[in-house]
Amino acid sequence: MITEPIDLAEEIPPAVDASKRRVLVLLLSVCVAASCAIVYELIIAAMSSYLLGNSVYYFSITIGIFMSSMGLGSFLSRYFLRDLVDRFIQIEIIIGLLGGISTVLLLSMYVRYGGTTPYFLAMFGLIIGIGTFVGLEIPVLTRIMKEYGSLRVTIANVFAFDYVGALVGSVAFPLLLLKHLGLVQTAFVVGFLNVVVAVALLLEYWTEVTSRITLALSILIIGGGLLAASVQSNRISNYLERGLYDAQIVHAEQSEYQRIVLTRMGDTWDAQPEPQANRVVVAKRRNDLRLFIDGQIQFSSVDEYRYHEALVHPAMEAAKRRISVLILGGGDGLAAREVLKYPDVKQILLVDLDPEIIRVCSTHPEVVALNQGSLSHPKVRIINRDAYKFVEETGDTFDVILIDLPDPNHESLSKLYSVEFYKLTARVLRPGGTLVSQSTSPYFARAAFWSIHRSMEAAGLQTLAYHLDVPSLGDWGFNLASHEPLRPETIPLNVDTLYLTQDSMQAMFHFGRDVDELDVRVNTLLKPILINYYNDKRWAYY
C-alpha cells in the first residue's frame, strides 16, 4: 500500500497562524507599552527633582498620582464598547505625544514661571493624562486578546508581558537612556516607541480598522514630529536650558550621575603668558565662568576664591600636621589648588563619584586656568567612588579631611551629612587632625546648617561653626571639627590669599542673631530630617 507523505504545514489552517501572530504582536505591544509607561514616570519625577530638588517627594508624588490615574483609566475602559483595535491605536498615539513632549513642556514652564502654580499644573496634568491613558491599555488589549484564547491564559500572558516590560524600562532608564540620551531625547525616543506600537497594530489589523486613514495620518504627523525632535534634541535642550541660566552655555553634558553645565558671561578669557601661567586667576565680572551641577551653582570664577579659602585654610592651619589630605568631592580642583599652597603636603587624595566632572575640570582650558592644573598635579591622586563607601571601607588615615560635596537637596546626598557618615570620617582622621564640611547657608537654610553642626557633634567631634559672604552664593557656612577642642583665636594664617586675613578669619566664627544656632534635630541615615530643613522657603525669595 502506497501512502502519500503528510505535509504538516498544510494541516495547520492559515487562521491559526494569523491568530498566533496577532497574539505575539499584542503581547509585544503590551511589553513595549509598559516599558514606555515606567520611563515616563521616571522622566517626570527626575525632571522635577532636577529643577526643584527633594527627589523622594517628587518620585513619591509622581508614582502615587500615576498609579491612581491608571485606576481611573481602567475604570473608563468600560465605556469602550466597539472598535477596540482603533481605540488601542489611538491610546498609543496619544501616550506617545504626551510622553514625548513631557520634558520640553516641564522645562518650558519652569523657565517661564519657575516652581510656581503653572509648573505644577503642567506636571500634574502630564502625570494624570499619561497615567489615565496607560490605565486604558491593559483592559482594552485584554478584551482584544480574549478572541484568541481563554480568559485565564489571556490575563496571565498580558500581565506577565506587562511586568517584564516594566522591568526593562526601569533598568534601561538609569543605565542606558539617561546616561546616553538625557531627559529630553529620552522622552522623544520613548514617545516614538509608543507610535511604533501603533504602527505595528495598524499594519496587523489594517483591513479591520475602521479609521485607518485618519490613524495613519496621525501616526505620520506625530511619529515624524517625535523622530525629527529626537534628531534635533541637543539643539532643543540647549535652547531651553539657556533659559535656566543668565549667561551663555559653553559646555553641557549628562553624565551617569548628574547634569554638568558650564556658563560664561562675556568673552573667552585671554590666554595667560607662559611665565605667568601658574598665577592665581581672578575673573572679571564681564567674563564670569560658572559651573552648575543639576541646576545648582558650584562656583563662580569671580568669587570662588572666597569660598575655597574659607573651606581649606582654617582646617589646614589648625591641623597639627598636614602630610596627607583627603578631599571628598571637590571635583572642580579648586580646593586642591588651595591645599597645594602648603609645601609640607605630600599627598592629596581626591574622591569624587563622577569621572566626567574630573574630565571636564582637568581639560577645559578656562577651568584649568582657574584651578591651576591641580587635578593633574603629581601630589594629587583621584579616585572615582562614592564618598560614603570610600570612608566606610578605606584602611588609610588622614591629617586633614575636606568635605566639599554638593548641598543635601536629595537623599543620596543627605547621607553624606549624617551622623553615621561623620563617625566614619572621624574614624579615618588622625589624632591632631582636622575635618571641615561645607554646610550650606546659615541664612537661606538656617535649620539645615545647624543640623549639620549638631550631627557632627553627635558623631563625637569637637565642632566650630563659621561663615562668610560669597557674593554668588550669599552667606555661606562651614563646620570645622577635630577630636580635640579647637580655639579660633589660635588658628594662624601662613599662606598667600586673595580674601582671608588673620582678622577676617577670626570674624568668620561669629554669628548674628538671624543666623545664630537653632534647636534642631540631628540628621541620620534612617531619619534624614536634613532634607526637610534644607527646603527652606527663604530660598524662594532669591
pLDDT at 14: 56
111 with 236: CB under 8 angstroms?
no
Q: Which residue positions in the chain have pLDDT lower than 70?
A: 1-18, 267-286, 537-542
How does pLDDT run across 163-206, given as a tens digit for each residue?
999 999 999 998 899 878 889 999 999 999 999 999 999 999 99
Burial 219-243 (b: 16+ CB within 10 A, else e): beebbebbbebbeebeebbeebbee
Q: Distance of alpha carbon 204 from its chain centroid, rounded?
A: 40
287 with 269: CB under 8 angstroms?
yes
Which helix H or strand E contains 175, and what residues bound it?
none
Kindly write down the DSSP assignment for every residue of 204-263, as one continuous string.
HTTTT-TTHHHHHHHHHHHHHHHHHHHHTHHHHHHHHHHTTSSSEEEEEEE-SS-EEEEE
How does pLDDT run across 76-85, given as a tens digit for each residue?
999 998 899 9
Alpha carbon distance, N-terminus to C-terminus of the chain: 98
298 with 321: CB under 8 angstroms?
no
- CA–CA distance, 451 with 245 (Å, rounded to integer): 30
pLDDT at 469: 95
Instruction: Say which residue the cell 586633614 belongs to.
Output: 400
CATH 3.40.50.150 fits 309-541, yes or no: yes
- CA–CA distance, 181 with 525 (Å, rounded to integer): 32
- Report the catalytic residues: 404
CATH 3.90.320.10 fits 15-239, yes or no: no
- CA–CA distance, 205 with 215 (Å, rounded to integer): 12
How does pLDDT run across 234-281, given as a tens digit for each residue?
889 888 877 778 788 889 888 888 889 999 887 665 544 443 444 555
Q: Distance of alpha carbon 19 from its chain centroid, rounded?
A: 45
Share of the chain above pLDDT 90, in %: 72
- CA–CA distance, 337 with 160 (Å, rounded to integer): 56
Question: What's the chain's length in residues?
Answer: 542
Fill in the DSSP letter of residue 472.
T
Q: Is 165 left (phi over 0), alpha (psi -120 to 50) or beta?
A: alpha
Hey, where are the domains in the chain? 15-239, 309-541
Tell me the three state secondary structure of residue 387: helix
519 with 345: CB under 8 angstroms?
no
Fill in the DSSP letter of residue 432.
E
Residue type, 113: Y
92 with 198: CB under 8 angstroms?
yes
